[in-house]
Structure 1
Amino acid sequence: MSNASSPLAARSADSGHTEAKKRDLRVGMVAGEPSGDLLAARIIQGLRQGSPGMQVEGIGGPEMAAQQFHQHYPMDALTVFGYVEALKRIPGLVSTYLGMRNHYLRQRPDVFVGIDAPDFNLRLEHRLRQAGVPTVHFVGPSIWAWRYERIHKIREAVSHMLVLFPFETEIYEKEGIPVTYVGHPLAANIPLQPDKADARRRLGLPESGRILGVLPGSRSSEVKMLSPRFLQAVQILQDQDPDLTILVPMVNPKRRQEFEEALAQHPVRNLHLVDANTAGIREPDSEGVVRPPAWTVMEASDAVLVASGTASLETALYKRPMVISYVLSPMMERIIRWKSGQDKPYVPWVGLPNVLARDFVVPELLQEDAQPQKLAQACWKALSDQDYVAHIEQVFTAMHLTLRRDTPALAADVILKMARG
């Protein structure tokens, strides 16, 4: 029997909860990505409204630090891109895990909150829950697509799940795991009614004329695999519309260099690279959000050719028709199949907009289907078929309204209840 279910642990936990009501609460928190850092910072604000003297400590980034978060390790300690880099960084990740685990066991928080980073956080949550610490996990792993068997680890590790998508609640309720749907923070950050004309003005572009946003991903492997295909598709499209303008957001100088290498091999006309300076975005807006260049590209575009991932959801929130594409190298395909034990996802959709709609609302051209001619054909429909565009806008507006919740306040309410017992 684990410590979490023993009478001694239960009495200790009850005593701890009673004490928590008399003193300032202590919250452990770990976020491993910039998006999680921003979300955690807002949750901390909500937590302190309910408990002004609360202490929050763990692993986080600059947004959390600005909220008087005590950082034991920088967020970069957990940021890993790809399996190869993860293998190289195993010693550092193990050291970080042991450091946080031992600290929290010595000075137990009233509640621990893991934000995304499931490989790290679920392991830490399991150990802390065994020791009688309530655990909350925010952003459920995509068990609905890959590796459903992780539900057993989640059941053992997590006292309460906070999920981004409404369909996830049914999964956890069926498995007997307490769960709350809190909405997706992007839905609150992205305007319900995007302003295409204003976005084009900010980029110094005319209001008229077709514009295609091209987003070949934010990782090196994505840019190298997708950029040549996307650019060849653009060449075909510009044969149909010689005035077609192309916007490509740049996440950092390294990705820009890699994209420009592909562009030298597959040149196109009227192409603009958009970074934070050209997008006119240097400071947080009134909501404290620094809008990435990709958002300006989405808002200014008539349609978007996008790598599968969070960018496809962002594009949907901007109500833009899109073509989703992705290509894995043969080695990465083998690794994913080996790690998951699956040949394909449990659901027939890959793009988040289609997963949420439970339908192929927008085309997905993956692997061998990610051919320039097919990509161009699908993009041309998104650029030219006005009835189709109007339908997409209706579907994505309804989706936006469903996802739009006061995420930080809903999350903070659950966390405070867990901390107070």
Structure 2
Amino acid sequence: MTATRIPAAASRSGMAAPAATARPPRIALVAGEASGDGLGAGLIEQLRQRYPDAEFAGIGGDAMRIAGCDTWFDASELALMGLAEILRHLPRLLKLRKAFRQRALEWQPDVFIGIDAPDFNLGVEKWLKQRGIRTVHYVSPSVWAWREKRAEKIGASADLVLCLFPMEPPIYARHGIDARFVGHPMADAIALESDREQARKALGIAADVPVLAVLPGSRLGEVSRLGPPFFAAARQLCETMEGLQLLVPAANAKCKAMIVEQLHAAALPSARVHLLEGRAREAMVAADVVLLASGTATLETMLVKRPMVVGYRVSELTYRIVSALGLLKVDRYALPNVLAGKDLAPELMQHDCTPEKLASAISQWFEHPDCVSGLQDDYLRLHHELRQDASARAAEAVAGLLQSSTAGRP
């Protein structure tokens, strides 16, 4: 009957009242597409090892939800690419950003982590930082390729930048910004040696036939622009290479439907084509050569140690804007070439991305196996350089920021 009065009586007698229980750490995250969702999931798992009772909420996909994140919005709502596409969806994105940042402010996280998606996340980070919330940007935008002064803008938004590549922190250091190289989770996940024979067996491909993997992208915009020249190049190769087999992974159902139409238009012999639902990495490992869109897939192909030809086209509007403003500052685009500081893979961009040039570059790899062998030392060196247990290192960096954020908090 008198249990509820014990604290007051204890206080009057000089005994200390029980301290209020501190609330668990709160960490808000935003990931904008599948790769960011995977990074977020790995980071959540590592942070939970350090903070078992931590609460995670924000924008993410299936991987982050499985890891324990309460997703207020789905990551697919941010999966846009190219200036033209972003402009078309700008009103919706602005409405989403306003709703998210207000909810995040009300939730009062100890740290906010924006994972990639800089067009969305940097604005959210800056807004929350101005209101006293510590912020992290995970995955540096390509400051080595575009205007370096963007590093200052990123520093105004983020207290800490987590970088996947070793050439990035020195750029931020020139602008007095705390940036850490944590390595790339993909380099941790992929074995140093990939088993081509096993991959072919899993896909039902003979061990002794030439195989080309064709990956025109994971977004409809990419597939619409790259599918026609990629499959036209494959058609040319089928006419000159006896027994050539084509592995074509489709990222999702919509991409698959578009690819089916493109394969039909290219008049590729159906017996040569193996259209896959996902399984892109298996296709890369099984292949002798990979033809693919510029992007993260080039890093994946490097890590499975396969020669590649890289093509890319953006919308003509985006290309004209970038060209007119002189925004691009590099001669190399594909990540393996950038990391190596030399040309490991042919790059055929925009108006050079033609069936004839693509087919010619692919033929060189098939015709010169000695050049393929020469790649392996560079590939292995880069794999080791990126293999740093990235999720654990990222969590360690966030934990340091989190400790300073929660110091003195009830």
Both structures adopt the same fold (TM-score exceeding 0.5): yes
Instruction: Name the CA distance, whole Å, in 1 between partners of 2:74 and 2:224.
Output: 29
- CA-CA distance at 1:135 after TM superposition: 0.9
Instruction: Name the CA distance, whole Å, in 1 between partners of 2:59 and 2:219.
Output: 23
Q: Cα distance 1:361–1:152, how it changes in 2: closer, same or farther (>3 A)?
A: same
More displaced 10-residue stretch of structure 1: 93-102 or 39-48: 93-102
Contact 1:28–1:109 (CA under 8 A) maintained in structure 2 = yes
Match of 1:300?
A: 286
More displaced 10-residue stretch of structure 1: 203-212 or 69-78: 69-78
More displaced 10-residue stretch of structure 1: 246-255 or 348-357: 246-255
SS of structure 1 residue aligned to 2:311:
strand
Instruction: Name the CA distance, whole Å, in 1 between partners of 2:213 and 2:38.
Output: 26
For residues 60-108 of structure 1, what are the alpha-carbon distances to aligned partners after superposition, in whole Å with 9 as ceiling and x for unaligned? 2222222332222222332224444433432332222222222333342
Instruction: Name the CA distance, whole Å, in 1 between partners of 2:23 and 2:316.
Output: 55
Match of 1:244?
A: 244
Instruction: Name the CA distance, whole Å, in 2 between partners of 1:311 and 1:96.
Output: 29
- 2:308 aligned with 1:325, yes or no? no
Match of 1:181?
A: 181
More displaced 10-residue stretch of structure 1: 39-48 or 215-224: 215-224
Match of 2:385?
A: 402
Instruction: Name the CA distance, whole Å, in 1 between partners of 2:77 and 2:183.
Output: 28
Instruction: Name the CA distance, whole Å, in 1 between partners of 2:117 and 2:244.
Output: 40
State the identity %.
40
Q: Cα distance 1:342–1:189, how it changes in 2: closer, same or farther (>3 A)?
A: same
Match of 1:282?
A: none
- 2:369 aligned with 1:386, yes or no? yes
Residue identity opposite 1:342 in structure 2? G
User: Among residues 299, 303, 306, which one is paired with 1:313 in the alignment?
Assistant: 299
For residues 101-156 of structure 1, what are the alpha-carbon distances to aligned partners after superposition, in whole Å with 9 as ceiling and x for unaligned? 22333342211111111111111111221222211110001121123332221121
- 2:274 aligned with 1:273, yes or no? yes
For residues 211-250 of structure 1, what are the alpha-carbon distances to aligned partners after superposition, in whole Å with 9 as ceiling and x for unaligned? 1111122223322332232223223323332211111111
SS of structure 2 residue aligned to 1:141:
coil
User: Among residues 317, 320, 329, which one is paired with 1:334 in the alignment?
Assistant: 320
C-alpha RMSD of the superposition:
2.1
Instruction: Name the CA distance, whole Å, in 1 between partners of 2:314 and 2:32.
Output: 24
Match of 2:215?
A: 215
- CA-CA distance at 1:274 after TM superposition: 3.4
SS of structure 1 residue aligned to 2:332:
coil
TM, length-normalised to structure 2 = 0.88
- CA-CA distance at 1:22 after TM superposition: 5.0
Q: What pairs up with 1:1-12 in 2 under 5 angstroms?
A: none
Q: What pairs up with 1:150-169 in 2 under 5 angstroms?
A: 150-169=150-169
- 2:397 aligned with 1:414, yes or no? yes
More displaced 10-residue stretch of structure 1: 368-377 or 42-51: 368-377
For residues 29-82 of structure 1, what are the alpha-carbon distances to aligned partners after superposition, in whole Å with 9 as ceiling and x for unaligned? 111112211221121111111111111111122222223322222223322244
- CA-CA distance at 1:376 after TM superposition: 1.7
Match of 1:357?
A: 340
- 2:35 aligned with 1:51, yes or no? no
Instruction: Name the CA distance, whole Å, in 2 between partners of 1:179 and 1:116.
Output: 14
SS of structure 1 residue aligned to 2:309:
strand
- CA-CA distance at 1:265 after TM superposition: 2.7
Q: Cα distance 1:366–1:82, how it changes in 2: closer, same or farther (>3 A)?
A: closer
Contact 2:112–2:133 (CA under 8 A) maintained in structure 1 = yes
Unaligned runs of 5+ in 1: 1-18, 277-291
TM, length-normalised to structure 1 = 0.86
Match of 2:76?
A: 76
For residues 296-338 of structure 1, what are the alpha-carbon distances to aligned partners after superposition, in whole Å with 9 as ceiling and x for unaligned? 1101000111111111111111100111111234323124346
Match of 2:359?
A: 376
Instruction: Name the CA distance, whole Å, in 2 between partners of 1:313 and 1:42.
Output: 19
Residue identity opposite 1:134 in structure 2? R
Instruction: Name the CA distance, whole Å, in 2 between partners of 1:220 and 1:74.
Output: 19
Match of 1:137?
A: 137
Instruction: Name the CA distance, whole Å, in 1 between partners of 2:123 and 2:46.
Output: 26
Residue identity opposite 2:274 in structure 1? L
Q: What pairs up with 1:250-269 in 2 under 5 angstroms?
A: 250-269=250-269
Structure 1 outlier segments of 4+, above 6 Å: none
SS of structure 1 residue aligned to 2:188:
helix
Match of 2:149?
A: 149
Residue identity opposite 1:221 in structure 2? G
Residue identity opposite 1:402 in structure 2? E
Instruction: Name the CA distance, whole Å, in 2 between partners of 1:415 and 1:126.
Output: 17
Contact 1:24–1:54 (CA under 8 A) maintained in structure 2 = yes
Equivalenced residues, count = 385
Contact 2:186–2:300 (CA under 8 A) maintained in structure 1 = yes
Q: Cα distance 1:89–1:151, how it changes in 2: closer, same or farther (>3 A)?
A: same
Residue identity opposite 1:300 in structure 2? A
- CA-CA distance at 1:23 after TM superposition: 4.2
